[in-house]
């Protein structure tokens, strides 16, 4: 029977079970939060990003979740520097030019801060003279640090990044560091 696990990855945790860094490294990994045999992450979430990470013991399901040809939507809550106007959101929606090519069109809208949002440790940097706001961004591809590069390309660097959902699977009800089995 296929196992699928939803995990709310905290900030500063590697999306792997071991740290292949230096011997003196003390970075947190998935093994600091769960001891589930034979499950592996379906995709990655950068160490400085938070939110939904799916893990499975089924290679075919893992490929379906991660392969861009399936165009599984991934929705992010992104706290950005500044207040994106209609032109910035339209640029995200149309696709932006990055060094590795143009992104596919995305869904983008300003949003209120996510309900029930947990504090981040350490907190984001705040500049009194520069406002910030949240946007919801849904993409269907998965380039390296894509969301951060997209928001920077439209003039609004990412301050905090939380993946809220992948396809029909969401972060709902999971506190940072918590996991639960879900239906594949």
- For the annotated catalytic residues, the residue numbers are 46
Residues of the domain holding 10: 1-68+173-184
Same domain, 92 and 135: yes
Q: Confidence band (pLDDT; 50, 70, 90) for 152?
A: very high
Same domain, 79 and 155: yes
pLDDT tens string 61-116: 999 998 878 889 999 999 999 999 999 999 999 999 999 999 999 999 999 999 99
Three-class HEC string of the chain:
CCCEEEEEECCCECCCCCCCCCCCCCCECHHHCCCCCCCEECCCCCCCCEEEEEEECCHHHHHHHHCHHHCCCEEEEEEEECCCCHHHHHHHHHCCEECCEECCCCEEEEECCCCCCCCCCCCCCCCCCCCEEEEEEEECCCCCCHHHHHHHHCCCCEEEEEEEEECCEECCCCCCCCEEEECC
Same domain, 93 and 120: yes
Same domain, 119 and 61: no
Total number of domains constituting the chain: 2
Same domain, 82 and 64: no
Instruction: State if pTM tops 0.75.
Output: yes
């Amino acid at each position: 029977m296929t196992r699928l696990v939803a995990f709310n990855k905290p900030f500063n945790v590697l999306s792997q079970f071991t740290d292949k860094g230096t011997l003196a490294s003390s970075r947190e990994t998935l093994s600091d939060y769960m001891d589930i045999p034979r499950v592996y992450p379906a995709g990655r979430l950068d160490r400085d990003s938070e939110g939904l990470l799916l893990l499975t013991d089924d290679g075919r399901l893992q490929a379906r979740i991660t392969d861009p040809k399936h165009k599984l939507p991934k929705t992010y809550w992104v706290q950005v520097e500044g207040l994106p106007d209609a032109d910035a959101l339209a640029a995200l929606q149309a696709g932006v030019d990055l060094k590795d090519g143009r992104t596919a069109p995305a869904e983008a809208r300003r949003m209120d801060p996510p309900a029930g949002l947990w504090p981040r440790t350490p907190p984001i940097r705040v500049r009194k003279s520069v406002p910030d706001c949240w946007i919801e961004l849904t993409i269907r591809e998965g380039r390296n640090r894509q969301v951060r590069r997209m928001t920077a390309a439209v003039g609004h660097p990412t301050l905090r990044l939380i993946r809220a959902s992948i396809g029909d699977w969401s972060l709902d009800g999971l506190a940072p560091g918590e996991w639960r089995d879900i239906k594949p």
